[in-house]
Amino acid sequence: KSKIRVHTPIVEMDGDEMTRVMWHMVKEKLLLPYLDIPVAYYDLHVSHRDKTDDQVTVDASKAIMKYGVGVKCATITPNEDRVREYGLKKAWKSPNATIRALLDGTVFRKPIPVRNIRPAVSSWKKPIIIGRHAYGDVYNNIEIRVDGPGMAELVFTPLMGEPIRQTIHFFKNPGILQGIHNTDESIVSFARSCFAFALDQKIDLWFSTKDTISKIYDGRFREVFAQEYETSWREAFQNAGIEYFFTLIDDAVARIMKSEGGILWALKNYDGDVMSDMIASANGSLAMMTSVLVSPSGYFEYEAAHGTVQKHYYKHLKGEETSSNSTALIFAWSGGLRKRGELDATPDVVFFADQLEAATLETIESGIMTGDLLLVADPNPDNRKVNTESFIEAIALNLDRKLI
Ligand code: NAD
């Protein structure tokens, strides 16, 4: 059979450990047999990042700006253990933080529902989508470990005028310090992309921060969202029958637990990081969630929201059988391909992406599952735990049937 041709190159960012193993299986068994696909390949394996002094991550981000759509495998964010394990020059920054700092924007994370796995929270009837601000805060921080007594100050030196100086703390003993920032420009684009996404999907938008405690920092986020809503979105929201709702983050967490779902929950960078794992896990597994970075300049980066599944990788290296779930990696590819097809106006590529997702869901719904899913699926005598490779092969069989 002839292959479907993808016109514009997709930026492919390879990764680490078990997700790298699965990434190659997905390409070999689910993509390359069906697609004639040009890729701009960047190897973000931690050793290659080290070898290039992390230039490869910057180059990959620039390639996304050139071509518009990127697909990323999970990668190690090195800590001291990883520096030793891989003999790295230093603990390089998180590649995701580097990419997000360059592209800016918002990460939208949406659970992947299947019929035979019910959310752990019984009131959730519709997906809760997280809109995570992808720039700044603790992900672009500066930290100091204070060894002894001294004064910590926050200083802003304007290009013109007098510095602004505030005392943070007088240390009598050792301690820790952190400086974080955000920009009005990034917060505005975060707000806009959330309003636009909620309107597009016709769902309510919630935004929550801790502005009672962080009156200036979190307060600015709240202010920007309110201004954006009043000036540009109120009327369209009313016409669409949807709402914008701000509440304190602790109140939002309490309400989410009792809500029906079907909302976009906009969150600052760290809050979104934490809450998206909670939502994914309550929907069965970290691998049952899609994640896309939408930049204000119109670039899209699709990824799995989970990590490199380190423990499975060590088993894999010892030659033991693993049962790792490739669903989020497959959906990273299908999301990227669908967007590429939309931008290139190639409906056959969009059709392929739809079939790939349908084949994956049908496989799980037929009871063929990886270990993480078997633990949470509705009990059924047809349920069968398969290994990493067999799961992908079962999807390939379903996909074959659909594409004949
Ligand atoms: P992890 O997401 O790899 O694993 C957390 C837990 O979820 C583990 O119990 C794991 O077995 C399970 N899990 C996650 N994905 C799974 C899958 N596809 N199938 C089956 N089970 C799955 O996170 P971690 O263990 O905290 O981190 C491992 C490495 O991943 C670290 O080096 C970290 O820096 C990196 N990381 C990368 C990203 C990313 O690139 N997006 C995100 C988080 C962590």
Please give the average per-residue pLDDT across 43-70, as a whole number.
98
Name the residue of 308, 312, 324 whose CB sits within 8 Å of the most ligand 1 atoms, as the mutation to test its pocket. Answer: 308
Q: What's the CA-to-centroid distance between 52 and ligand 1, angstroms?
A: 24
* Tens-digit pLDDT profile for residues 6-43: 999 999 999 999 999 999 999 999 999 999 999 999 99
At residue 298, the pLDDT reads 83
Q: Does ligand 1 have an atom closer than 6 angstroms to the CB of 369?
A: no
Q: Would the ipTM clear 0.95, i.e. be above it?
A: yes
The Cα 145–Cα 150 span in angstroms is: 12
At residue 19, the pLDDT reads 98
* Tens-digit pLDDT profile for residues 332-354: 999 999 999 999 999 999 999 99
Calculate what percentage of the chain has a pLDDT beyond 90. 91
The Cα 203–Cα 162 span in angstroms is: 46
Residue 1 binned pLDDT confidence (cut-offs 50, 70, 90): low
Q: Does ligand 1 have an atom closer than 6 angstroms to the CB of 311?
A: yes
The one-letter code for the residue type at 119 is: P
pLDDT of 201 above 90: no
Q: Does ligand 1 have an atom closer than 6 angstroms to the CB of 16?
A: no
* Tens-digit pLDDT profile for residues 80-128: 999 999 999 999 999 998 998 898 889 999 999 999 999 999 999 999 9
Name the residue of 57, 117, 309 whose CB sits within 8 Å of the most ligand 1 atoms, as the mutation to test its pocket. Answer: 309
At residue 47, the pLDDT reads 98
The Cα 308–Cα 291 span in angstroms is: 15
The Cα 29–Cα 398 span in angstroms is: 12
Q: Where are the alpha helices (DSSP H) in 296-375?
A: 310-317, 327-344, 347-365, 371-374
**Conformational region of residue 87, where left means phi above 0, alpha means psi within -120 to 50, and beta covers everything else:** left
Please state whether beta strands 39-43 and 10-14 pair in parallel, antiparallel, or not at all (unpaired). Answer: parallel
pLDDT of 234 above 80: yes
